[in-house]
Structures are given as structure tokens and as C-alpha cells.
């Protein structure tokens, strides 16, 4: 299913990265849904509900709001991409702000934030196979087996392989999630209502009150909860593997309909969180909490076929994000990074060299993420939440690209660099925060201030270049 669709597109970079711009509503709906809801949904979502209670509702909050900017950005990006041959988000930004330096910086930033996201998917695959086999298959082997499959179909098919496998995996994930969300509470408590009644009358009652608990078991404050929702919503459509689907869409209408229909995909998260709540009283003390779903399946002595199907659904969640991520990271590293090195530019852009380099980088980036997946100790949702702070720094630039003609390249560079540095400082030195907000919020504040001040104090870009983006 992953390899065959790649045979139907042209053997070019446009075919490999953008699928000849032919993605219809069905595929776009599932490729966006499945590429966002990944290991963190099937493993991290139940893990947070299990260990942190109402804190897990932040996922529902940001997902419902985060898709909205794509309704406005997506069609504009698709039109410009089709006209000028762009297939990555960084190409748009570098062209609008007339900055090769920005292009290289964006490619580095993108790869740096996508590697942890890909690592997250691999950790999820490893956790599933390790837990379900009682350790007979170690984490490193489970991750390696699952992502060897991903590597093969992404290498051969590019974005269309990603699209068709995501469609199948998305349908499969939805079915499995709803089955488990209803079946487990029924089997353990006699239904969902009795389950919550018992939770309310237990020591877990405090966790059911928003905003829930922190990872250390202490109550989470509203500063932390709300800032996590805001930074995740802002960064939601900025993920390159998400944004790049605008270039693959068949039409503007396809993008807008996908955005309108997308909230229906979030219904998938309801049973996912119920799974986590169902295990609180029956299976206390499971660590790490990300393994609660496979742990429950093993302990409940369910039929082997059922356990296999559930784990296949969890692997589908991991793989349907991982394939899109590694494809996007390799494409951007080539188009916006290596291709901007003067000595390599002509060679990369000629013939099939560009497509070949992207394929090679698919392998290299997969191996880097696999290394971190095996040795990193961070829990799955925390890993994702940290990456959101970095990727959200692209939002002010993307907004300014379409809606603020006065913004220029120097302002965009200053804003992006300042935002990323600020985010990293508060990530590694959280005691410096004036308020207990997500570090990405502080980065955005610095980003917007620098973008505004530097743009106003330097020359604007040429009018013809600006009109490409503001006259749509």
C-alpha cells in the first residue's frame, strides 16, 4: 500500500515531495489527521489521563483551535507553490523575505524540531512491542522493525505512499480506539458512568479537576495549562510535515473542506482518554505511564487476536506520523539547506539528483532519530510539548508573509533567531521564568517584538515580491 501509489506519480521532486499536487479530500483528511495523532495519542494520551487526569484535556483544547489558521494559510500557500514550483514551507518564507540565510536557518530549525517528533514515534513503536512481549522484544528492536517498514515505503514512494498508508491507518486507528474506549470500562466497571463514579470517590478525585496534575503529582497551575494550549495551537499548523500538505492538495476547496471536517477526527481522542481513566484504579503504579495501554492488554488476559489488532492500531498511529515527518525533514534539508550551498546548488537541482539526495537523507534522519529513541528517557508527551515551543516560532513569520507587507527579511531573521534562543534558555533554565508559562510563549513575545522593531527600522522588501503574497 505504501509502495504502489508512488508508481503513479512522476519521477521528479515535484512528484516525490508534492505528489504532483493531486491529493483529494479523503487522503488529505486522513493524512493530516493521522500524521498529527500519533504515538502521543495512543500511548501519551492514555498515559496522561492515567497519571495526570484532567491535564490530558489540553490535547482536545489545542487540537480544535490549532487547525483554524490552515483555512487561511493553506490555499495561499498552494497557489504560490503551484505558480513558482515551491514544495516546502521554508521555500515560501525564504522567497517572501528574500533571504537565503533564512532558508538555511529554517532548514536547520525544521530538522532539529522534527527529529524529536520522529524520535517520539519510534519510542512509541518500541514501547508497544516491548511491553506486549513482556520484554522478549526489546525497545530498540521493536522500534527498528516498525521503522524499517516506514523507511522502505517512504524511500520508494514519497508523499503518496505516506498519503495512502495514512488513510488506511487512520481508519484502522479510529475503529480500534472506539472499540477499546467502550470495551475496557464495560469489562472493568460495568460502563463509563460507573467508572467515573468510582474515580470521583477515590484518591484520584483531585486529578479529575482541571487543570489536573503535573508529572511530579503536584497540581498543575492554570499558567502552565493555558500556555501549553496556546503554544500547541499556534504551532499546530506550523509543523512542516503538516504545512507541506498544502502543496500536495488538489485545490483550495480541498484544503478548506479538510479544515472544516477536521474536528470530526478529534472525536477519536475521546475513547483514547477514557482508556487511560479506566486503568487508574485497576492497575495503579504502572511506570512509565506511556505503557499503560499495552500493560492493560497484557494483564486482562484478552484473546491474542484482539491484543494483536490493538497493538497494530497503536503501531499505525506511530508509523502514520513517522512517515510524514521523515519525508518532510529530508525534503526540507535538501531543498532549503543543501541546495543553498553555492557549490552544490546546480548539481542538486539537475536531473534526478535532488530526489536521490532526499532519499538518502530519509535514511540518515531515520538513523539519527532511532539513536535518540533508544537512549532518550523523556516521556512521550513531554517530548512533543518541548518541540512545540520551537516550531511555534514560525507562526509570526508565516502570518507576516501573507498579511503584513512591511515585514522584511532582516526582521524575520531577527525574530526567528531571538524567539528560538529565548525558548531554549527558558527550556533549560526554567527557574528564570517570571511566570510558570510554557517557554515557547516567551519565545513568541521576543519573536514578535524583534520582527516588528527591526522591520520598521530597515528597508522594506520590493513591492513586486510582496504583492505575490498579499494580493491573493
Q: Is 190 exposed, middle or buried (0-12, 13-18, 19+ CB in 10 A)?
A: exposed
pLDDT at 19: 64
Please state, as a whole number, how many other Cβ atoms lie within 10 Å of the Cβ of residue 6.
22
Average pLDDT over residues 24-52: 79
The sign of the torsion formed by the CA atoms of 63, 241, 139, 306 equals positive
pTM (2 d.p.)? 0.83
pLDDT band at 432 (very low <50, low <70, confident <90, very high): very high
Cα(408)–Cα(429) distance, rounded to whole angstroms?
32
How far does the chain reach from its first CA to its final CA, in angstroms? 37
Closest to 259 (Cα-Cα) out of 14, 22, 36: 36
Average pLDDT over residues 342-361: 77
Which phi-psi region, left, alpha or beta, contains residue 290 (left: φ > 0; alpha: ψ -120 to 50)?
Answer: alpha
All three cell numbers of 46, joined, read 492514555
CA dihedral 363, 237, 251, 84 (to 10 degrees): -70
Cα(157)–Cα(144) distance, rounded to whole angstroms?
20
How many CA atoms does the CB half-sphere of 51 hold within 13 Å? 22
Cα(85)–Cα(70) distance, rounded to whole angstroms?
20
222-236 helix and 439-457 helix, angle to the nearest 10 degrees: 50
Instruction: Supply the Cα-derived Rg of the chain in whole angstroms.
Output: 22
Cα(170)–Cα(149) distance, rounded to whole angstroms?
17
All three cell numbers of 429, joined, read 533554565
Q: In which residue are the cell numbers 514560525 written?
A: 394
Q: In which residue are the cell numbers 504583492 written?
A: 467
pLDDT at 226: 92
Q: What is the pLDDT of residues 371-392, one digit of tens each?
A: 888 876 655 556 666 677 888 9
Give the angle 111-112-116 at the CA atoms, nearest 5°.
100
Contacts of 91 (CB under 8 A, 6+ apart): 81, 103, 335, 336
All three cell numbers of 342, joined, read 553555492
Cα(240)–Cα(157) distance, rounded to whole angstroms?
19
- Phi and psi, residue 23, nearest 5°: -70, 125
Least confident of 49-58, 315-324, 405-414: 315-324
All three cell numbers of 121, joined, read 514515534
**CA dist list (Å): 356 to 16, 337, 344, 352, 370:** 10, 15, 14, 6, 21
Does 211 sit behind a cis peptide bond, omega within 30 degrees of 0 on the bond before it?
yes
Cα(33)–Cα(14) distance, rounded to whole angstroms?
23
Average pLDDT over residues 350-373: 84
How far is CA 283 from its chain centroid?
A: 30
| pLDDT tops 70 at residue 401 | yes
| pLDDT tops 80 at residue 447 | yes
326 with 373: CB under 8 angstroms?
no
| pLDDT tops 60 at residue 160 | yes
Least confident of 70-74, 158-162, 364-368: 158-162
SS3 65: helix
**Domains, the chain, with CATH or none:** 4-381 (1.20.1730.10)
All three cell numbers of 190, joined, read 460495568
Q: In which residue are the cell numbers 526554567 written?
A: 430
Q: What's the chain's average pLDDT?
A: 85
Bigger pLDDT: 378 vs 438: 438
Amino acid at each position: 500500500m505504501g509502495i504502489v501509489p508512488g508508481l503513479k506519480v512522476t519521477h521528479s521532486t515535484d512528484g516525490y515531495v508534492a505528489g504532483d499536487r493531486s491529493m483529494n479530500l479523503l487522503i488529505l483528511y486522513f493524512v493530516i489527521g493521522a500524521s498529527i495523532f500519533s504515538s502521543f495519542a495512543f500511548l501519551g494520551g492514555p498515559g496522561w489521563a492515567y497519571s495526570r487526569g484532567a491535564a490530558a484535556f489540553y490535547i482536545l483544547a489545542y487540537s480544535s483551535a490549532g487547525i483554524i489558521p490552515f483555512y487561511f494559510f493553506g490555499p495561499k500557500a498552494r497557489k504560490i507553490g503551484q505558480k513558482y514550483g515551491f514544495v516546502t514551507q521554508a521555500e515560501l518564507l525564504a522567497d517572501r523575505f528574500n533571504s537565503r540565510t533564512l532558508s538555511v536557518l529554517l532548514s536547520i530549525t525544521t530538522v532539529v524540531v522534527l527529529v524529536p517528533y520522529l524520535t517520539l514515534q519510534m519510542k512509541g513503536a518500541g514501547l508497544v512491542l516491548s511491553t506486549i512481549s513482556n520484554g522478549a522484544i526489546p525497545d530498540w528492536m521493536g522500534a527498528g522493525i516498525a521503522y524499517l517498514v516506514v523507511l522502505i515505503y517512504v524511500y520508494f514512494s514519497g508523499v503518496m505512499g505516506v498519503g495512502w498508508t495514512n488513510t488506511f491507518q487512520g481508519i484502522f486507528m479510529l475503529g480500534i480506539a472506539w472499540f477499546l474506549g467502550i470495551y475496557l470500562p464495560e469489562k472493568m466497571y460495568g460502563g463509563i458512568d460507573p467508572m467515573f463514579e468510582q474515580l470521583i470517590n477515590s484518591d484520584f478525585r483531585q486529578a479529575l479537576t482541571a487543570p489536573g496534575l503535573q508529572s511530579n503529582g503536584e497540581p498543575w497551575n492554570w499558567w502552565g495549562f493555558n500556555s501549553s494550549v496556546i503554544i500547541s495551537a499556534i504551532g499546530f499548523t506550523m509543523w512542516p510535515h503538516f504545512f507541506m500538505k498544502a502543496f500536495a492538495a488538489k485545490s483550495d476547496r480541498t484544503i478548506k473542506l479538510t479544515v472544516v471536517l477536521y474536528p470530526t477526527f478529534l472525536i477519536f481522542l475521546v475513547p483514547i482518554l477514557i482508556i487511560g481513566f479506566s486503568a487508574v484504579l485497576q492497575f495503579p503504579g504502572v511506570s512509565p505511564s506511556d505503557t499503560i495501554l499495552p500493560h492493560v492488554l497484557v494483564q486482562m488476559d484478552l484473546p491474542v487476536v484482539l491484543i494483536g489488532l490493538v497493538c497494530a492500531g497503536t503501531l499505525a498511529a506511530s508509523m502514520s506520523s513517522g512517515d510524514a515527518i521523515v519525508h518532510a525533514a529530508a525534503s526540507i534539508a535538501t531543498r532549503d539547506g543543501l541546495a543553498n550551498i553555492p557549490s552544490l546548488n546546480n548539481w542538486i537541482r539537475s536531473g534526478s539528483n535532488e530526489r536521490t539526495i532526499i532519499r538518502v537523507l530519509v535514511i540518515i534522519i531515520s538513523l539519527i532519530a532511532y539513536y535518540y529513541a533508544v537512549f532518550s528517557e523523556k516521556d512521550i508527551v513531554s517530548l512533543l510539548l518541548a518541540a512545540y515551543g520551537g516550531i511555534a516560532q514560525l507562526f509570526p513569520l508565516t502570518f507576516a508573509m501573507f498579511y503584513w507587507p512591511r515585514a522584511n527579511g532582516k526582521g524575520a531573521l531577527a525574530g526567528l533567531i531571538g524567539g528560538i534562543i529565548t525558548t531554549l534558555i527558558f527550556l533549560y533554565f526554567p527557574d528564570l521564568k517570571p511566570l510558570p508559562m510554557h517557554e515557547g510563549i516567551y519565545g513568541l513575545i521576543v519573536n514578535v517584538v524583534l520582527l516588528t522593531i527591526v522591520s520598521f527600522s530597515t528597508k522594506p522588501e520590493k513591492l513586486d515580491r510582496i504583492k505575490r503574497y498579499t494580493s491573493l
